[in-house]
Amino acid sequence: MSILELFGNKSTEVSGSRILFDPALVSRIAFGRRRSEFAITLTLFADISDSSRNDSVIRHRFPPSTSLFVSSPNAASSALRMPLDSILGSMGRLRSLRIVRSSLHGVRAVDVAHETGLTIAGAQRALLSLAQTGIITQIVRRRGAVYLWNEEHLFSVTLATLFNAERQRRTAVQDAAVSWLEATNPRPFALWWFGNSARGTDNFDSDMDLAIVGADNRTVTQTIANTLQTALAPIGIRMALPPSIVSYTTADFRALPEKDPILWANLARDAIVLHGPTPERLRKQLTRPLSPNGSPDAHP
């Protein structure tokens, strides 16, 4: 039985025992010497229902590495039937297409290389491939080729909608936080977006980290943070980007560099200001003498 048949059936018989395989346990795929074959290296756990043990299910570990050879998918695809394979078939093309879409006056390969991290040669290859599909247009000028989005292409509107949705996912929680601020009284001294998502190093397991600095009343500050969490929860679910909020009183925030220098360094380096001053500026303001109502003289 081939590995494809095995995975398709989700079970097979080995020495009278029924073995259930989980394809998610495939740990590594490595291409074999022949292009028509690739090796799937497996580290598998399987549930074995052994009739000799009254059908009890036992856990069995296979040898650490089992290599199986199967035919690889056909690399060729029809440009008529599956054009998206060519348009979106590589990370370089997808990132280049995103840059072209965001430009009103066209881009050059050097611009795409700068924005995407591709080499200039890699950006040129990606742009030429996209131009062949027709989704972008190449215009040769004296200083080099310029690439423009082709508004007349069949997929223009659909792909533009996808890129717009991608941008909305990035801004939806941020915009909702700003709307929450406008309806909140009293407002916090500051609201920052920080962490992996602010740096652009996040993945689909990441949260959107937000930090609030409120007054010296810990209960009031926590209540403000709770209302923000409630306001952002529906959008976080919709966008698969759950908010994670930390709150500080002014006293807590003044002590943060000494109490948690790593978090302070992250805030100072990465914080995107949604309200109030930057972390460093706020800390300077909070070291000034307090006004009679117990707040900093220069309220942000």
Task: Look up the CATH number of the domain holding residue 267.
Answer: 3.30.460.10
Indicate whether 269 and 201 sit together in one domain: yes
What's the mean pLDDT in 61-81?
Answer: 57
Indicate whether 13 and 122 sit together in one domain: no
Helices (H), the chain: 3-9, 84-87, 91-102, 109-116, 120-133, 156-182, 196-199, 218-239, 250-259, 261-270, 279-286
What's the mean pLDDT in 159-164?
Answer: 95
Q: Per the confidence metrics, is the pTM higher than 0.75?
A: no
Is 102 domain-assigned? yes
Percent of the chain clearing pLDDT 70 (strictly above):
70
pLDDT in tens, 217-233: 999 999 999 999 999 99
Q: What is the residue range of 236's domain?
A: 169-286
Give yes or no for a contact between 267 and 281, defined as CB atoms under 8 angstroms apart: no
Predicted confidence (pLDDT) at residue 154 exceeds the cutoff of 70: yes
Is 66 domain-assigned? yes
Indicate whether 268 and 189 sit together in one domain: yes
Is 300 domain-assigned? no
Average pLDDT of the chain is 78
Is 31 domain-assigned? yes
Nearest to residue 172, comparing CAs of 242, 119, 109, 227? Answer: 242
Predicted confidence (pLDDT) at residue 215 exceeds the cutoff of 80: yes
Is 147 domain-assigned? yes
Whole-angstrom Cα distance, residue 217 to residue 186? Answer: 12
- When divided into structural domains, the chain yields a total of 3
Indicate whether 130 and 220 sit together in one domain: no
The neighbouring-strand residues paired with 234 are none
